[in-house]
Amino acid sequence: MKILPVNLIREADAYTIKHNPIRSIDLMEKAAEVCVDWIIENFAATEHFEIYCGQGNNGGDGLAIARMLTEKGYDVYVHLVKTSPKPSKDFTTNIKRLTNIANVRINEIDSIQDLKEFHYDIVIIDAIFGTGLSKPIEGLTIDVINYINKLEYPVISIDAPSGLYCDNPVDDANAIVNATYTISFQFPKLAFMFEQNNKYVGSFRMLGIGLNEEFINEVETKNYFNILDDIKAIYRPRDKVYANKGTYGHALLICGSLGKMGAAILSSRACLRSGAGMLTVHCPSSGNIILQTSIPEAMLNLDKNENIISDITKIDRYEAIGIGPGIGTDPLTVKTFRNLLSNYDKPMVIDADAINILSLHKELLNNIPKNSILTPHKKEFERLFGNCTDDFERNNLQREMSVKYNIFIVLKGAYSAITTPEGECHFNSSGTPGMATAGSGDVLTGVITGLLAQGYSPKDAAIFGVYLHGLAGENCLANQTQETMMANDIIDNLHSAYSEINDDSPLRTLFNELFGNDDDDYLDDDEDDDDENN
């Protein structure tokens, strides 16, 4: 799914109006319809809606929503916020349509005194600016937004929380609506991907409004939001007959040190569960019994040193190498990593302590094999590449470093960002807060290494691996809570994640035969069932 800047979203609207063809007011009507359907489904018992409308097209959306909710019997109160000396054409059309309906209540807000207290349960709908904000807000509008934020009621923002810049950092954090839900038309916005905006955006949904598919397919962007359909296109089903363990690659994981053999176990189990045909683990010799007992399916290449990684040989026989979980930063380990970078020319997966070694010896960045995959969390990224003032700046730096060093960088987080040597950024849609637990990063290293060994390209291995990892985490919640999840639970649910991705799996085939294929899409449309995606 493409993430477009606001100017290209407007071009998509204009192209649709011209080529479908459809009038602007009718496209607005379509947007209001899908919003109302979602609102009613999710707030079925709500009786009172307070809708705050600006005077642009976002306000026009709000007015159309108010009319439709009123026609369905809901109690609606519209508050008009004077945001412009000249209302938009579609706003004017919708205010006329709304005033023709009986029992419509409209409150024109000229000052803070026009805001009223509520003595009953309500849902607030924010349609003040949406994506139409072109300059810093001031005066009365700031007062209205701050007033909304003080109310302890659910808030639904239409298209974007009013006051939030979708393509740039926040200017004034005191003048942005704190939405509980954000309904975004057709595309997610770049600002939705960043942690710093989570308190404004809340939980977001994309609702399809029928924008022109030709335009969407042809428009160029560097930003993407990867959903299940994207992953299904990457997935490579296995040959049903002519396959053996050698077909799916031999991976090498370099991991573990005294007191950190658990990282080696987690990475190794995940690598094998991701589908690697064979796995060799290079670890300190003290890990022999631990790993042979925990993972009998893996072969061991024991280091001559008892407690740390100090030497690696015979690396050419492996289709993929992953390094970092639990290895520490001992000088002998640093020397070994340096030699590995100089002698291995295939893409590798670099994580955890291997990233910390790079941070301590930044000259080694130039020795990383091209198309390798680095998987830092935010603090590791900052130690390696420097601090940033906000998430937008960090995202730009991440792209620059991917291009400069010809590598893929997976910045782990709520919407893990995967940047490419071409400067693209793919945000991941799967996952759950329960994955914020010790060892989940080690699991991801094993998964991506296993996919590389099977012959997936580095780009596909990173995108697919991050999504698979997140989906397995989501599936843990069938038997765990977010608080009780552990890294091993993610590994144990890789099979269910693969089953969702592989529609040809026996379980999914049986389910479809019994109940029909009723998969929820991340993108809601008015012809589809609404979903419960996070």
Give the model confidence (pLDDT) of 97-106 as tens digits: 999 987 889 9
Least confident stretch, 312-316, 407-411, 528-532: 528-532
Q: Is the distance from CB of 131 to CB of 159 less than 8 angstroms?
A: yes
| pLDDT score of 514 more than 60 | no
Average pLDDT rounded to a whole number, residues 292-318: 96
pLDDT at 459 over 90: yes
- 3 state DSSP class of 382: helix
Band of pLDDT at residue 520, cut at 50, 70 and 90: very low
Q: Is the peptide bond before 169 cis (omega within 30 degrees of 0)?
A: no
pLDDT of 510 higher than 80:
no
In degrees and rounded to multiples of 5, residue 261 shows phi and psi of -70, -20
Q: Which residues pair with 393 in a beta bridge?
A: none
pLDDT band per the 50, 70, 90 thresholds, residue 174: confident
Q: What pLDDT is stored for residue 496 in this prediction?
A: 96
pLDDT in tens, 257-292: 999 999 999 999 999 999 999 999 999 999 999 999
In this prediction, residue 531 carries a pLDDT of 36
Distance, in Å, from the CA atom of 524 to the CA atom of 171, rounded to the nearest integer, reads 31
The dihedral sign for the CA sequence 131, 134, 138, 139: negative
pLDDT class of 525 with cuts at 50, 70, 90: very low
Average pLDDT, stretch 489-504? 92
Least confident of 21-35, 101-115, 178-192, 480-494: 101-115
Contact 526, 34 (CB under 8 A): yes
Range scoring the smallest mean pLDDT among 165-179, 246-260, 359-373: 165-179
- β 348-350/373-374 pair status: parallel
Q: Sign of the C-alpha dihedral, residues 63, 66, 68, 71?
A: negative
Length of the chain: 534
Using CA atoms, how far apart are residues 191 and 54, in angstroms rounded to an integer? 21
* Rounded CA separation 416/429 (Å): 8
Kindly list the structural domains of the chain, giving each domain's residue range(s) and its CATH number in brackets, ordered by start: 6-221 (3.40.50.10260), 243-502 (3.40.1190.20)
Residue 130: which of 78, 61, 70, 187 has the closest Cα? 61
| Cα-based torsion angle of the residue sequence 520, 490, 502, 448 in order, rounded to the nearest 10 degrees | 120
Q: Are 521 and 528 in contact, with CB atoms under 8 Å apart?
A: yes
Report the mean per-residue pLDDT for the chain: 92
